[in-house]
Structure 1
Amino acid sequence: MFRTILQELLLSSTLTARDLIDRLSALDPDTPVCLAINPLFPLRHDIDDVIAVQDALGRTTVYVTESGDQQAPVPPEVTVAAGWHEPTEAPRRVRTGIAAQ
């Protein structure tokens, strides 16, 4: 069976189980894992389950499901590393009218 260029592009940009295992194996096994979802309003979600299903052609795809509960905003360093946002710094605040002590 020949793959089209589009199929090759889609497959090459999809994280595989091997990729995920390699990345996670470099970490302490007791490190919590969660999902960062929605680049425009990034929130942390807890992982609920990992489910493998087969399509009509017998190909397996793994789905990582989330619990449905939004936990907290995703830290800025995560959104920058993911390429969702540019690095930014909070503007400096200048306080006026406060006597020096």
Structure 2
Amino acid sequence: MTVGDILDLLSGCDRDTPVRLAINPFFPMAHRLGGVEKSVDEHGRPMVYIAESPEAEQFGPVPPAVAIALTWQEPVEAPPRRRRGATRPDDGQ
């Protein structure tokens, strides 16, 4: 993914919407962004790093729909429920 790809993806979003960083597909959690840093990689090519907040603030699990959209997990349906029999009042016996 490039900076242009990110800009394209974000261009349709409201500028005032908070951004969270989804981390770890096996235990997906949401984190606050802390900054963007320009650098170069080991071959001298330009690189941009998006950092986590210095407070390392974690907001809890990524919503299941987001994990599914990121292909981090499969869609899961709740198992079918069996009908329970009606309870009958106890006649004191």
In which range does the TM-score fall when normalised by the shorter chain?
0.7 to 0.9
How large is the RMSD of aligned CA atoms in angstroms? 1.9
Long gaps (5+) in structure 1: 1-14
Q: Which has the larger radius of gyration?
A: 2
Indicate the structure whose relative CO is greater, using CA pairs within 8 Å and at least 6 residues apart.
2
Normalized against structure 1, the TM-score is what? Answer: 0.72
Identify the residue that residue 49 of structure 1 maps to in structure 2.
35
Q: Which stretches of structure 1, 4 residues or more, deviate above 3 A after TM superposition?
A: 55-58, 92-99
Percentage of identical aligned residues: 49
Q: Which has the higher helix share?
A: 1
Unaligned runs of 5+ in 2: 88-93
> C-alpha deviations, 1:25-66, integer Å up to 9, x for none?
111111111111000000001101111112465421100001
Aligned residues: 85
Aligned residue among 6, 17, 25 for 2:3: 17
Please report the TM-score for the alignment, with normalisation by the length of structure 2.
0.78
Distance 2:37 2:21 in 1: 15
